[in-house]
Chain A
Amino acid sequence: ETGVTQTPRHLVMGMTNKKSLKCEQHLGHNAMYWYKQSAKKPLELMFVYSLEERVENNSVPSRFSPECPNSSHLFLHLHTLQPEDSALYLCASSQSLSTDTQYFGPGTRLTVL
């Protein structure tokens, strides 16, 4: 595997379910990001990790919980979501927490029923 991978690619869950999204980067980068992409809206930055430490949490509801166990892996734990949370969730990485180019995974298409 090369680049940034995300699993699952598609996820349908009920509002009471607990699920997790996984992101893995094979680029040796030190920074990782979670974005939310809703239809016809700009990407929204959710969380940022640098060297496994969270450096940004852009007022994201607590029903989204990130985890970064090492510099190559990033998780987004989901619990008690709402239908309006349905979106494409994108993971990205960059060499460092700077203005370096970010490399994106294919995303997880999440549908909350």
Chain B
Amino acid sequence: KQEVTQIPAALSVPEGENLVLNCSFTDSAIYNLQWFRQDPGKGLTSLLLIQSSQREQTSGRLNASLDKSSGRSTLYIAASQPGDSATYLCAVSGSNYQLIWGAGTKLIIKP
């Protein structure tokens, strides 16, 4: 049974720092891995989707990497800004449509 873990559960860093969020999964047989952002009182927004054949995806200041063999993904945020404060969730999909979710990392960027 696939399990997804995100550590740490919360992270607070000063504005301007580069940071890394971690996601690990127990079964390497995945189709893809996605990173989402959730703002308070709002739904989830998809940030990056990495197919199982890919090693990384980039969007602006965000870079997500995937290492299937070790069951790990990282989300790198460069030059963090207060507007990056949110909860970041990762989810993996197997051979069907179901997403298996981590519990998220709550990120606070201090001005």
Contacts and interface: CB of A to CB of B under 8 A. Distances in A.
Size category, A interface: 20 to 34
A104 interface: yes
Contacts of A92: 43-44
Contacts of B101: 42-43
Contacts of B99: 43, 45, 102
Interface residues of B, number: 24
B31 to A, nearest CB: 5
Contact of A42 (B45, B98, B102): B102
Nearest to A107: B43
Interface of B: 4, 9, 31-32, 34, 36, 41-46, 49, 89, 91, 93, 97-104
Nearest to B51: A99
A105 B42 CA distance: 8
27 contacts: A4-B43, A31-B97, A40-B9, A40-B103, A41-B103, A42-B100, A42-B102, A43-B91, A43-B99, A43-B101, A48-B97, A56-B98, A90-B43, A90-B44, A92-B43, A92-B44, A98-B97, A99-B97, A101-B34, A101-B46, A102-B99, A104-B36, A104-B43, A104-B44, A104-B45, A105-B43, A107-B41
Closest 8 CB pairs of A and B: A104-B43, A42-B101, A104-B44, A43-B101, A106-B43, A99-B31, A99-B93, A97-B97
A75 interface: no
B41 A106 contact: yes
